[in-house]
Amino acid sequence: MRNLMLTLAAAGTLLLSACDPSRVYEQNVELPEKSWTVDNAPVFEFAITDTTKRYNVYFNVRYSLAYDYYNLYLQHRLTAPDSSLVSSTLTELHLMDAKTGKPEGKGSSDIYDMQSLALKEIAFPQVGTYRLQLTQYMRRDPLPNILSVGVRVEEAGN
């Protein structure tokens, strides 16, 4: 029964994603043992074919309410097809309201998904495959109760 539910959920996700014309790329990576170690820095590769358009880049985080902090610091490194650096920034994501503790994002029970705009209306100067690496930048290693992280790239203005 559980496998059937997972299969139906995956099929539903595929159907919904097919109806999203602004999305260029979206990928999430599950973290082992529901913890994010500093040395586990997922790399997301996506193709850009139109350099005249502007794009929005989002960071996706799935977390448990057992997460000990209200925020999450991420360091990203975005490189162009020729390996030149496009962007590198430390970003603070607010997973919970600092005063009330109310979780941000969508979820139920104790698991929440949050999508945060990280790069707004960015221009990609070259056609080809870009690489975006995410590293957790908290003082705790491993960082428990972060279940997965990901990246979404979409055309801006849609």
16 part of a folded domain: no
Neighbours of 5 (CB within 10 A): 9
17 part of a folded domain: no
Angstrom distance (rounded) from CA 72 to CA 67: 10
pLDDT digits (tens, 9 = 90+) for 71-116: 999 999 999 999 999 999 999 999 999 999 999 999 988 999 999 9
34 part of a folded domain: yes
pLDDT digits (tens, 9 = 90+) for 115-137: 999 999 999 999 999 999 999 99
6 part of a folded domain: no
DSSP 127: S
How confident is the model at residue 158, as a pLDDT?
64
Query: What is the number of structural domains in the chain?
Result: 1
CATH number for the domain spanning 137: value is 2.60.120
Helix (H) or strand (E) holding 11: helix 2-18
56 part of a folded domain: yes
**Residue 129: which domain range?**
23-155
Helix, strand and coil percent figures for the chain, each rounded to 5 = 15, 55, 35
Angstrom distance (rounded) from CA 4 to CA 31: 23
pTM (predicted TM-score): 0.86
12 part of a folded domain: no
Counting every residue written for the chain, the total comes to 158
134 part of a folded domain: yes
The predicted model gives 22-34 an average pLDDT of 97
